[in-house]
Amino acid sequence: MTQLTTSPAASALRTLAEEGGHESLNAYAIGGGALAALLLLLWITTRLNRDR
């Protein structure tokens, strides 16, 4: 397999993916946090958009 990226971040992500993640990483918590952040950004955007 050829190595496409050589950045340290890509290497760390590849290592995490191969090991199956870390015990402190909870997929539901990460997904819920991302959803909450996106909903907050959507709410802020709609409150600041007054040209409609």
- E strand spans, 1-52: none
Q: Which residues, 6+ apart, have CB-to-CB distance to 11 below 8 Å?
A: 5
User: Which one is predicted more confidently, 52 or 37?
Assistant: 37
| CA dist., res. 21 & res. 23, Å (int) | 7
Residue 52: band (very low, low, confident or very high) from pLDDT cuts 50, 70, 90: low
Joined together, the tokens standing for residue 5 give 């990226």
| CA dist., res. 25 & res. 20, Å (int) | 10
Residue 40, classed as helix, strand or coil, is helix
Read off the pTM. 0.51
Question: Is the pLDDT score of 19 beyond 60?
Answer: yes
